Amino acid sequence: MGAAGVYYVMVTALLSAAGGEKQSRTLRYWVLWTVLWIGFWAVQVCVCMSRVFIAAHFPHQVIAGVFSGMAVAKTFQHVRCIYQASFHRYLGITFFLFSFTLGFYLLLWTFGVDLLWTLEKAQKWCSNPEWVHIDTTPFASLLRNLGILFGLGLALNSHLYQESSRLKQGQQLPFRLGCVAASLLILHVFDAFKPPSHMQLLFYALSFCKSAAVPLATVGLIPYCLSQLLATQDKKAA
C-alpha cells in the first residue's frame, strides 16, 4: 500500500509537469507516460511477489494494498485540509485513534478474543521463532502510522516549514533536488536505526518517535536548512 501510494504520486506528478495542456501533448509525452506506468506496475509486481513469498502475505492482501494505496494517493491529491489543520487537530486525531484502538482491543480481550492470535501461532509453528519479529504486530503498525501523523502535523505547523514555504527558493529546481537528495540520505539513516525488540513498550515508544521524526525532518528541517542556504548564497551573489 505504501509503495503504491508513493510511486503513484511520483508518476502523476512527473506526468503533470511534463504534460501541459491536454490538447498539446506530444508523442514524447505519451512515450514518457508509457514508460512511467510500465515502471510503476513492474515495481508493484516485484513488491507484491516479495510480500507473498518472503513476508508471508496472502495474495488478496497485496492486491488490495496496491489499489488502496492508489486510492488514498488520488484522494489526498484533492484534499487541502492536511495543510490547513492545526497541530491541536493532528494531536487530537492521533490520541483518538490510539485510544479507540486500544479500547477496542481491551474490549475484545475481555470477551476472550485475542487479536494477536496469529503471532502466537507463527511463533509456535515457525522453524525459527526469531524470524517472527515484533515489528509485524498490529500495534507496531499502528504506532508507526500514528507517529507519521503526529510528525506531519508537527512539521506543517512548525516555524521551519512556514519559513521555507514563504521564501522564493522553494520554487527553484536546485532547492527541490537538494531536498530529494537530503531526504533520501536522512531516510537511510533512520532506516538503519533498529529499536531494541527485547522490551515491547520501549520498542513501541521508539517506533513512534522514529516515525514522527521522518516527516519532521523531510517536511520541516531539510527544506528550511536548504532554503536558508540558498538565500544566503543569493545575497552573496547580489
* Helix 59-76, helix 2-19: angle, nearest 10: 40
pLDDT of residue 134: 78
Query: ∠ CA 5-176-15 to the nearest 5 degrees?
Result: 50
Mean pLDDT of 7-33: 80
**Long-range contact set of residues 161-166: C-beta below 8 Å, sequence gap at least 24:** 161/219, 161/220, 161/223, 161/224, 163/224, 163/227, 164/220, 164/223, 164/224, 164/226, 164/227, 164/228, 165/223
* Residues 6+ positions from 43 with CB-CB distance below 8 Å: 3, 7
Closest CA to 231 of 162, 164, 159, 157: 164
pLDDT of residue 128: 77
Is residue 136 predicted with pLDDT exceeding 80?
Answer: no
Q: Which three cell numbers stand for residue 77?
A: 491529491
* Residue 22 confidence class, pLDDT cut points 50, 70, 90: low
Contact 7, 47 (CB under 8 A): no
Quote the mean pLDDT of the chain: 85
pLDDT of residue 170: 64
Secondary structure letter of residue 168 according to DSSP = G
Written as one letter, the residue type at 31 is V
Q: Which three cell numbers stand for residue 61?
A: 492482501
Closest CA to 89 of 80, 81, 100, 101: 81
Per-residue model confidence as pLDDT tens digits over 163-209? 888 776 666 778 888 888 899 899 999 989 888 878 888 999 999 99
Is residue 23 predicted with pLDDT exceeding 60?
Answer: no
Is residue 40 predicted with pLDDT exceeding 80?
Answer: yes
Q: Which three cell numbers stand for residue 173?
A: 529546481
Going 160 to 163 to 166 to 167, the CA torsion angle's sign is: negative
